[in-house]
Amino acid sequence: MPIPAPIPPKGEQGPEFGTQAEYCTPGTYLYSMTNTTNTFDAKFRTSVINNTSSAKSFKFTATKTGTTTFTVSVSVSAELKAAIFAKMEATINAGVEQSNTTSYGVEVSGTVNANSTLYGDYGNWKENVSWKSHYVYSNCNTASENSGSAYAPYREAWKLYY
């Protein structure tokens, strides 16, 4: 699917011989995208609480799965949605996916300190962006400013933290 260019192409011909009038291909264009802080979409949460005075071994196993899907915060056309994903992939994070379902049975193990709580979340890291679009008329004027956010999964992992 062709991706609308941020700056529409200008035509070579004007309405009158010898003039150079601007011409733009009408349509909705994505003209801005900003990378925002990545977040974690937990699909299974676990923890180990050590209420003793000695360190303990632990093993976390992901026993539930879940899916994270590319999502745009506001309703947009299918074309613009595709353009948002394509631009995320091309300019922000080449690893983004339309959807990812976490795997079952993935394990991580280690030691938890005495009198401590260790958290372990299993899920998908999400690439988050904010974006802006507008409609371009054939005379290259713009209107219908629109903006929103979007996210897509790019890596499934355990997230461990005290």
Partner 1 sequence: MRASRSAVCLAIGMVVPLLLVSGCTGDTARRSVAPSEPPSPTGPGRPSPTPEAPTGWFPAGRVLLAGPLAEQKDVTIADVVPSGASFTVYFVCTGGGRIALDVQAADPLRYPCDGVPNRSQVFVDKGVSTDLAVGVEGAAQWRLAVVDGAP
Which of 61/149 has CB closer to partner 1? 61
Q: Which residue type does 40 have?
A: F
Which of 43/126 has CB closer to partner 1? 43
Angle CA 155–156–158, to nearest 5: 125
Which of 30/156 has CB closer to partner 1? 156
- Least Cβ distance, residue 75 to partner 1 (angstroms): 23
**Residue ranges that bind partner 1, judged by CB under 8 A:** 42-52, 56, 58, 61, 63-64, 66, 112, 115-117, 119
- Least Cβ distance, residue 160 to partner 1 (angstroms): 14
Alpha-carbon dihedral angle through residues 40, 79, 93, 159, given to the nearest 10 degrees: 10
- Least Cβ distance, residue 46 to partner 1 (angstroms): 5
- Least Cβ distance, residue 23 to partner 1 (angstroms): 50
CA distance 29 to 11: 17
- Dihedral sign for Cα atoms in the order 67, 68, 70, 73: positive
- Least Cβ distance, residue 116 to partner 1 (angstroms): 8
Which of 47/142 has CB closer to partner 1? 47
Q: Which residue type does 34 have?
A: T
**Coil, strand, or helix at residue 49?**
strand
**Coil, strand, or helix at residue 80?**
helix
Residue 61 · residue 107 · CB < 8 Å: yes
- Dihedral sign for Cα atoms in the order 62, 64, 70, 74: negative
Which of 49/74 has CB closer to partner 1? 49
